[in-house]
């Protein structure tokens, strides 16, 4: 879920990473468009899809899943501003010791899509929400990486990256957002509530965590950290430490800041025989 700043909250030190087996099945993100999105907007989804397929090259050993199917649509949500969109997994599978998204949904408010696109913010918005569909901030609990309310992400891959990337030697967890609304807290890396000011966490390239793609608010130029890629390794993906800046994003973000939130798996989902009611 995305909300505007007014209504809600919103590196590259190489770390040891998983080798990519030559036989790894490539990740294939398939986006089905269910209306409400123009051709140009759909093309931006394609760019986001390619970005994540490049960063998350497949799944780890013991996982046969290769395709994640996402239904995307533009719908009327709440008029201009407010909630911009919402996304999350819809059906899950348990494989190789991980709980993984098989399908997901991304919905964007038609009242906001034109401005998001014209201001250059739609790509970052889609990248962010697509990450939630793939499990970032939505499947942490089910994978034993995070407990709501603690603010402490303890997954080993992201933590190892965090320590190196942001010089946080001795850290035992990665700080998670506890501010903002229910769709924001417990599902993003931490930054100052509202997205303003420096977090004090700066990588070797001088990039403040405030500007990382998967924080609760976004402003300024955006980058994808090694820590975020580590979180995807914690979620069962093969994600070599080769994160690139998001494509085609830059200063346009600085004009307005939008808050990001995420939706946990929609409805009740069945995971490995357990049934869990989720918001």
Tokens, residue 262? 């995420």
Read off the DSSP letter of residue 234.
H
Distance separating alpha carbons of residues 273 and 256, to the nearest angstrom: 44
**Cβ at position 176, least distance to Zn ion in Å:** 12
**Cβ at position 224, least distance to Zn ion in Å:** 14
Tokens, residue 187? 């599902």
136 lies in the site for Zn ion, by CB under 5 A: no
Query: Strands 83-95 and 2-4: what pairing?
Result: antiparallel
- C-beta of 207 vs 263, nearer to Zn ion: 263
- C-beta of 15 vs 31, nearer to Zn ion: 31
**Cβ at position 135, least distance to Zn ion in Å:** 12
**Cβ at position 204, least distance to Zn ion in Å:** 25
Distance separating alpha carbons of residues 137 and 146, to the nearest angstrom: 9
Tokens, residue 74? 């533009």
Binding-residue pattern over the window 201 to 240 for Zn ion, x denoting contact by CB under 5 A: ----------------------------------------
- C-beta of 217 vs 237, nearer to Zn ion: 217
Q: Which stretch binds Zn ion (CB under 5 A): 58-66, 160-168, 245-253, 257-265?
A: 257-265
Distance separating alpha carbons of residues 259 and 196, to the nearest angstrom: 11
Q: Which stretch binds Zn ion (CB under 5 A): 92-100, 140-148, 231-239, 261-269?
A: 261-269
Binding residue for Zn ion, selected from 235, 260, 266, 269, defined by CB under 5 A: 260
Residue 21: closest CA among 238, 241, 243, 242: 238
Q: Which stretch binds Zn ion (CB under 5 A): 16-24, 59-67, 237-245, 260-268?
A: 260-268
- C-beta of 58 vs 124, nearer to Zn ion: 124
Residue appearing with tokens 């924001």:
184
Read off the DSSP letter of residue 212.
B
Helices (H), 166-236: 226-234
Distance separating alpha carbons of residues 3 and 128, to the nearest angstrom: 13
Q: Which stretch binds Zn ion (CB under 5 A): 17-25, 35-43, 160-168, 256-264?
A: 256-264
Contacts of 51 (CB under 8 A, 6+ apart): 127, 246, 247
Q: Which stretch binds Zn ion (CB under 5 A): 108-116, 159-167, 237-245, 252-260?
A: 252-260
**Cβ at position 244, least distance to Zn ion in Å:** 20
Binding residue for Zn ion, selected from 262, 263, 264, 265, defined by CB under 5 A: 262
**Cβ at position 262, least distance to Zn ion in Å:** 4
Question: What Cα–Cα distance (Å) separates residue 159 from each residue in 40, 204, 227?
Answer: 38, 17, 7
Neighbour tally for 69: CB within 10 Å: 17
Tokens, residue 5? 């700043």
Contacts with Zn ion in 80-119 (CB under 5 A)?
none
Residues contributing to the site for Zn ion (CB under 5 A):
260, 262
């Amino acid at each position: 879920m995305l909300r505007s700043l007014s209504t809600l909250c919103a590196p590259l030190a190489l770390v040891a990473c998983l080798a990519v087996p030559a036989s790894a099945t490539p990740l294939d993100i398939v986006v089905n468009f269910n209306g409400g999105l123009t051709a140009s907007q759909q093309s931006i989804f394609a760019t986001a899809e390619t970005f994540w397929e490049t960063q998350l090259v497949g799944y780890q050993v013991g996982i046969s899943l290769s395709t994640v199917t996402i239904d995307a649509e533009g719908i009327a949500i709440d008029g201009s501003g407010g909630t911009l969109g919402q996304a999350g997994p819809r059906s899950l599978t348990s494989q190789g010791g991980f709980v993984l998204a098989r399908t997901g949904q991304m919905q964007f408010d038609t009242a906001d899509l034109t401005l998001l696109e014209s201001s250059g913010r739609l790509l970052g918005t889609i990248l962010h929400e697509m990450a939630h569909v793939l499990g970032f901030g939505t499947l942490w609990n089910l994978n034993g990486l995070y407990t709501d309310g603690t603010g402490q992400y303890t997954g080993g891959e992201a933590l190892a990256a965090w320590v190196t990337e942001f010089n946080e030697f001795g850290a035992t967890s990665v700080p998670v957002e506890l501010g903002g609304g229910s769709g924001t807290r417990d599902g993003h890396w931490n930054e100052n509530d509202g997205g303003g000011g420096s977090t004090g966490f700066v990588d070797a390239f001088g990039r403040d965590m405030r500007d990382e793609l998967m924080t609760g608010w976004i402003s300024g130029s955006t980058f994808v950290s090694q820590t975020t890629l580590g979180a995807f390794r914690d979620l069962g993906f093969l994600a070599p430490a080769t994160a690139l800046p998001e494509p085609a994003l830059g200063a346009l973000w600085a004009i307005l800041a939008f808050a990001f939130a995420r939706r946990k798996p929609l409805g009740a989902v069945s995971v490995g025989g357990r049934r869990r009611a989720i918001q």
